[in-house]
Amino acid sequence: MPRRRVAVYEKLVSKAAGKAGFIDLFWPKVMIAEHKSKGKNLDSAFNQAIDYFPGLDPADYPQYVVVSDFARIRLINLETEETTEFLLQDLPDNVNAFGFIAGYQVRKFKEQDPVNIRAAQRLAELHDALAGVGYEAHELEVYLVRLLFALFADDTGIFMPRGSFEDYIRSRTSEDGSDLASKMAVNRP
């Protein structure tokens, strides 16, 4: 895709102090790039890029600032405040940081909540217990998926009122669980 379809080179804008300036590369809503001579301070390049914001339409504020001295590149995500910096020669090893150019979104996955881990362990235990009393293969899998959906729906309020599935199990089945399958209309093998 030609650069002119997405970004403007040397865009004239008013800087924070009211003076005119030229953004080296401006891609509305996506990126500002500011380049300096080799060995120059990248912090100064970043500050210069930020000084252009008052001259931009707020709807066009970019998420990323890229600064470079043609030997080093620094990429700053203004939303997450994550900064990636590397030597130009290491660009191939860091190209994924620029996935946003192709429209990719970086997603970070956090550690699972301990409650979710315990729930998965208990579901695994239930699986083993049901397998031990004769449930097997497809029937066991279907039963567990239905049960998991019912628990999810009960917890999130899909079943109204919230907690109604738990209430049904507590009030309509034997405490030892011996009639649970029949109450849930599950055909056992």
Give mean pLDDT, residues 156-180: 84
Query: Smallest Cα–Cα separation from 56: which of 96, 12, 112, 107?
Result: 12
* Beta sheet of 64-68, edge-to-edge order: 8-14, 20-27, 31-35, 64-68, 72-77, 83-87
Q: Do residues 72 and 86 touch, judged by C-beta distance below 8 A? A: yes
What's the pLDDT score for residue 1?
Answer: 57
Answer whether residue 187 shows pLDDT above 60.
no
H helices present in 60-107, as ranges: 91-94
- Residue 61 pLDDT class (50, 70, 90 cuts): very high
Q: Do residues 31 and 64 touch, judged by C-beta distance below 8 A? A: yes
Give mean pLDDT, residues 30-45: 93
Answer whether residue 180 shows pLDDT above 80.
no
Dist. CA 146–CA 152, nearest whole Å = 10
173 Cβ contact list (under 8 Å, min separation 6): 179, 180, 183
Q: Do residues 72 and 42 touch, judged by C-beta distance below 8 A? A: yes
What's the pLDDT score for residue 19?
Answer: 84
Answer whether residue 186 shows pLDDT above 70.
no
What's the pLDDT score for residue 60?
Answer: 92
% the chain with pLDDT above 90: 38
% the chain with pLDDT above 70: 90
- Residue 89 pLDDT class (50, 70, 90 cuts): very high
Determine which helix (DSSP H) or strand (DSSP E) holds 174, and give its type and residue range: none
What's the pLDDT score for residue 110?
Answer: 66
The predicted model scores a pTM of: 0.56
